[in-house]
Chain A
């Protein structure tokens, strides 16, 4: 720096300097508290839910058991992976509304491959992932190249997949001829933890790494923040968006395999738009914590299990099933409202 460059030095503490002798502004004190409240509201609420249902006399004897924890942990792996699948397009500002139905489609693929064509398990799994990615490729092509609204495109895809599943299965479940090792994977524990949970942890770590620790993740975030500016710093916006949908589809393929592993069969009813909604709810709810205002993996996973354990607790307490539905819907509602407010404050505070 040259000698006359005092402005920069003054600049860093510009808030304190009052040319007319004004009192220095008390900054960050309150706002830092608020930020931390915001970041840890969801984990805190999660802890409250766990403690409440474990200690409440009506639910404690069932809720606070290892069996219940294993059950819930295992049951929500599927939603967890769907959440990760929907997270990647969300980061670059696009919706993938087809993840749930895509999982419903790929579970038929994996089950059919094994039951009808006697494909060995590893290849059947790869086939399911490939089909899922293909669905994503199709979504991505239409969204990125033609510039069609992703919500509408993927909603359409969802409908088409539902139709294909119904046509191919004739409404019948596929339960014979499914690899025993896949079924074992869906039901067994390792070290007291359901094996499927390890899968979720691995996938979550990979997605976390991808989004937070690679240029690719930064690019997707940039596109989600301002696609035009992203193009002007040399990013191939269309190609990146396309890839986000492909990854999302591939993850939906993994979710489809998991459905078969968990259910022991491939049912045409499993894997639907309802699951997409749960995944989107968790992604949005997750965006209100850990890194408020940004879609993030840890927040999303917390959100999945916050909803999971809350619904389980309510069920044990004996509330009717519609209460759980209202709870999940309400969580999405509140999450979207809060993340919108956070976003507004972050970008409107000048």
Chain B
């Protein structure tokens, strides 16, 4: 992307920084990687693309020495080979592989400066070993400036926005690279999951700059836009196999989708249905709680209402409050014309509400089996005459597995052994089985591959056709534009705008979100004028 020379013209003198040969990885019951071979050239940004369960996480874990590969494979860094079944974290460090994982491994209870120092050691006074705080904070400030993170190094990480957590983790991994001037390889595993698009751009322009300076970067992602915008080469994994390695001029969006999914994708585009005139299922007025300040909106029966906003805009608070997890400080909620105030989740569930939380760590029972995860929200259904009818439960689970396209060997499979996308489908299925009147989705496709995304929304659409109303929060505006009938934009706890068809598209949402967030911060309330309440 950055050079006009054809790959063949520059390839001969480009050094291979990382080579993987015939790497396989077998788990009990599944083969995560099957004879994977790939080369990453020095000074390039190489994307590793694949859906959940494609094996990209396993590949990264073998590289990081967290897992060991099956015997027979080799991993070569800078012409030094290591058998793949003998990788260790120490080896990875010595070989110059630096990782930023999706799980950032940052410490909430420590300051930003301490978080940065944990990667490379604290500056200490001679003999007594006490930390030199001033030096520590000065160094941290340099690093933060370089990475354009505008926070005080003395602040606790817990007090920062999630987006800054990611930035600090990346800065921590990168700082050594530049200080030591070594020719290491930076491996970024889904670094943008928690980042708003503006900050993704900042990160990416920085990555491009590092690559130009000779840095080798292996970027793991499932976001195609990112691959298209940044990758010089891309390797696509599917079901543990390398299906293709392509240069920047050899792929486009459709080609990548086809490679990831293994077939052309069904269009998930939906026409927003204008349901003007129908009665409202939900009426929220002046909801004020946490960051939310006087939020007022309505939701029609069978409508998919999208909510867009930056992190911290109050998106999640909106959903958790509706679901009875928080109590409103002020305001009212009407469901079907009746005033409701849920004191707990069970009351909200009884009223026909369902909530898929943002993180799977809040929804998955990893050490329980698939069947138990599917029926977690309706166990009493199987309780007749002092017996829990577990066979009936398994029968229903099998039906759900088919109906919701969950890939599993059996309904008794431990949930942890399912891929992320399938876990998420099961969580969505758990709620759709209850035929909810109002389904609340918080980032339902975060960390989910493109095929599962399409399936999740197909299932949601099916429920909508059956009468369910949906409020969906996502920071993927392309996705929001595809699935929502109407989009509300939240900024700083207020509804800053509303988009209706035919005006719903990702660029308009992005524009509205960014301008509303920026103007509100500057104390300019002009954009709130766009607010219109149904």
B241 x A349 contact (CB < 8 A):
no
Complex-state Cα separation, A268 to B160, whole angstroms: 55
The yes or no answer to B414 lying at the interface (CB within 8 A) is yes
Chain B contact residues (Cβ within 8 angstroms of A): what range? 35 or more
A232 x B362 contact (CB < 8 A):
yes
Stretch at the interface among B29-37, B136-144, B149-157: B29-37
B376 x A14 contact (CB < 8 A):
no
Q: Given the complex, which residues of A lie within 8 Å of B387, measured CB to CB?
A: 213
Q: How far is the CB of B519 from the nearest CB of chain A, in Å?
A: 35
Complex-state Cα separation, A293 to B379, whole angstroms: 22
Given A19-B262, A236-B344, check contact A222 B376 (CB 8 Å).
yes
Which among B325, B366, B380 has the greatest number of chain A C-beta atoms within 10 A? B366
The yes or no answer to B133 lying at the interface (CB within 8 A) is no
The yes or no answer to A31 lying at the interface (CB within 8 A) is yes
Q: Mark A70-94, 1 if CB is under 8 A from B, else 0.
A: 0000000000000000000000000
The yes or no answer to A145 lying at the interface (CB within 8 A) is no
The yes or no answer to B383 lying at the interface (CB within 8 A) is yes
The yes or no answer to B9 lying at the interface (CB within 8 A) is no
Given A15-B31, A19-B262, A34-B28, check contact A347 B405 (CB 8 Å).
no
Q: How far is the CB of A252 from the nearest CB of chain B, in Å?
A: 26
Q: How far is the CB of A348 from the nearest CB of chain B, in Å?
A: 7
Stretch at the interface among A5-13, A191-199, A253-261: A5-13
Q: Given the complex, which residues of A lie within 8 Å of B29, measured CB to CB?
A: 15, 27-28, 31, 349
Q: Mark A231-266, 1 if CB is under 8 A from B, else 0.
A: 111111000000000000000000000000000000
The yes or no answer to A346 lying at the interface (CB within 8 A) is yes
| A contacts with B, residue count (CB < 8 A) | 49
Q: Given the complex, which residues of A lie within 8 Å of B366, measured CB to CB?
A: 225-226, 346-347
Given A218-B388, A347-B416, A348-B416, check contact A8 B362 (CB 8 Å).
no
The yes or no answer to A116 lying at the interface (CB within 8 A) is no
A20 x B31 contact (CB < 8 A):
no
Q: Mark A322-350, 1 if CB is under 8 A from B, else 0.
A: 00000000000000000000010111111
The yes or no answer to A1 lying at the interface (CB within 8 A) is yes
Which B residue's beta carbon lies closest to that of A219?
B379
Q: Given the complex, which residues of A lie within 8 Å of B418, measured CB to CB?
A: 350
B30 x A25 contact (CB < 8 A):
yes
B401 x A349 contact (CB < 8 A):
no
The yes or no answer to B98 lying at the interface (CB within 8 A) is no
Q: Given the complex, which residues of B lie within 8 Å of A28, measured CB to CB?
A: 28-29, 409
The yes or no answer to A22 lying at the interface (CB within 8 A) is yes
List CB contacts (< 8 Å) of B18-33 with chain A.
26-31
B372 x A218 contact (CB < 8 A):
yes
Q: Mark B412-433, 1 if CB is under 8 A from A, else 0.
A: 0010111110000000001000
A-binding residues in B (CB < 8 A): 26-31, 34-35, 57, 238-239, 241, 243, 262, 266, 323, 325, 344-346, 348-349, 355, 357, 361-368, 372, 376-377, 379-380, 382-383, 386-388, 390, 401-403, 405-409, 414, 416-420, 430, 451, 455
